[in-house]
Amino acid sequence: MAGGKETPRQKMIGMMYLVLTALLALNVSKQIVAAFITLNDKIDRSASGIDDQIEGTYMRFDQKGATLQAQHENMDDFNLWNEKALDLRKSSKEVISFLLSECNEMIKLAEGEDWIEEQDDDGNITKLRSLDKIENMDDYDIPTNLFVGGNPEKPGERGMALVEKIHGYRNHISEIMATYTTGQKSWSFKAPEKPGQLSQALLSANPADTAIISRFYKSLTLPEVLHVHGEEGELPWVSVTFDHAPIVAAAAMFTSLKLDIKSAQALSAEYMLAKIDVTPFNFNKIDPMAIANTAYINQGDSLQLNVMIAAYDSTSITRVRYGIDADTANKAAWKETNGGLALDGAKPGLHRVKGEIAVRERGEIVWKPWDFSYTVGQPMGVIAQPDMRVLYWGYDNVIESAASGYPADKIKLSPSGCSLRSNGNGKYYVDVARGTRTASISISGLRDDGSSVNLGKFDFQCKSLPRPTLYFGSAESGGSCRLVEARATNKVRLALDPSVPLTNVKYKVTGGTLRVSDLPGSAEITADGVLNQRCKNLIAQSAGKTLYFDVNYEDPSGIKGIESGSIKIQP
């Protein structure tokens, strides 16, 4: 606003205009104007980083919904804020598409062709091609004529439409953030057209929300006028931004506006997520799994098969489509149900069930495949390891034995290539020495007369434990965390990804190194993953950069390895 204290963003806009004016006054070459391409690419990379943060927030919406369903809790608050979050995502995509469409039209007038690189399924533009292919990068007539017109004091409708679109988005989202009912109390908010009226408008909102609503509103409020550096007086924001701006500079401004929208969306999505008062289950991957308490049944019996999301918690069970045996190859013959299947045990032999489960990921339904095999046989012994037929070195592998017609005290197991320790109730720990490739366990039943009958032999594949995942604070390798969390983190750790169905597996960190992108040198990670002072000094300078780890470790069986990973540090 005129006469008011300039925000850092307004100062940045003014500085960009000052640089542009100076460059144009000097009649600069294309090579100098092309420096704006570097600026544009840097801003666009920042926007991509925020995309990951936003998608992570929407994934946590799904996790909270799954938790509430599993605990049979009231879903009203979740449904309210989930709908608002979906509205936020849709509105954000639309306004970004509008901005990129205007930028594309500007470039198209100069180059004679569309500059669109990516669009989503709804037709929204999500990305434009690189600016380094633009030949007329120093053309400033097109941005001026398209968005300003002949009178900078009264810019044209198309330029003012940019302001109206951004402010319309700002008003709509701030209103849905602040308008809701909790218990017996209702809160409301009507976005003011003038920023100076914001404090008065917030009086009807929840006092606990006013700080973040104000922050969101101000982050998307474009100044009505800006001071023209080097000249007297002020001009509308549109004129200061686009009047006599080279195409690449104008395109960089559109990318900056896109970053503003994404930053505001991330802020709003986190706010909405926090309104759902539930601690989600601790899983971060969604994979289908068919699970039964045994993989073997006797003829005439039935088998209860549960198909669920592989988080090893009671999560949301959604629609399931499946076919059995011959029907597995013919989707048209598949049946549909909700979660559990009652498999027929009338026909002996090996059977296969194949299908798909509907999983909600980031607010959308995705069909994921699953596969399950089971055996129906005559009364005989069986050793069932429902999750897998694999034994790991240095791990307490658990197996369960059963023999139809024989009580637990009349069943005998004979291991080969491994050793057994009873865990009670027909369950055993199986120990496998490092380097063993295969093992087998035979089962026999003891008759009343003391004789035994062989009920089968079961072979297992033996191998090392899965490689661990690197974690830094709350982030896993490939993810990101805030600088404040990074500075407070004193060590790195290694653990199995939550999707791996193994428990109590501990990896010993013996040392390693840390590097930070764009910073010289490296630092030592000491035993147990502890970060020394040199590491902390590097981390303190890592805002907007990436941490690269090389961690030496030893697994429970004594196998040594190196796990590498990276963490993006958000400012």
Say what the alpha-carbon torsion angle 104, 106, 107, 112 is, to the nearest 10 degrees.
100
Half-sphere exposure of 498 (CA within 13 A, CB side): 14
The fourth-level CATH superfamily of domain 281-378 is Immunoglobulins (2.60.40.10)
Q: What pLDDT shows up at residue 440?
A: 93
Residue 231 β-bridge partners? none
Spatial neighbors of 546 by CB under 8 A, at least 6 apart, are: 516, 517, 566, 567, 568, 569
Q: What is the pTM of this model?
A: 0.51
Whether 360 and 318 have beta carbons less than 8 Å apart is answered as yes
As a whole number of angstroms, the distance between CA 341 and CA 307 comes to: 8
Instruction: Reduce the secondary structure of 194-214 to three states and give it as a string.
Output: CHHHHHHHHHHCCCCCHHHHH
Query: CA end-to-end span of the chain, whole Å?
Result: 27
Q: What pLDDT shows up at residue 228?
A: 77
Compute CA distances 448 → 23, 321, 385, 453, whole Å.
100, 47, 28, 11
Q: What pLDDT shows up at residue 299?
A: 45
Condensed to tens digits (0 to 9), the pLDDT of residues 169-203 reads: 999 999 999 999 988 899 999 999 899 999 999 99
Q: What pLDDT shows up at residue 335?
A: 86
Q: What pLDDT shows up at residue 297?
A: 53
Closest by CA to 14, choosing from 259, 258, 231, is 231
b/e for 73-103, b at 16 or more Cβ within 10 A? Answer: eeeebbebbbebbbebbebbbebbbbbbebb
Q: What pLDDT shows up at residue 99?
A: 97
Fold for domain 380-463?
Immunoglobulin-like (2.60.40)
CATH of domain 469-570: 2.60.40
Enumerate long-range contacts of 161-166, CB under 8 Å, 24 or more apart: 162/99, 162/102, 162/238, 162/257, 163/222, 163/237, 163/238, 165/95, 165/98, 165/99, 166/95, 166/220, 166/222, 166/257, 166/260, 166/261
Query: Which of helix, strand or coil describes residue 315?
Result: coil
Domain spans in the chain, listed from the N-terminal domain onward: 8-274, 281-378, 380-463, 469-570
Which residues of the chain fall short of a pLDDT of 70? Answer: 1-34, 229-230, 279-303, 308-318, 339, 348-349, 359-364, 375-388, 404-407, 425, 448
Q: Provide the 10 A C-beta neighbour count for residue 3.
A: 7
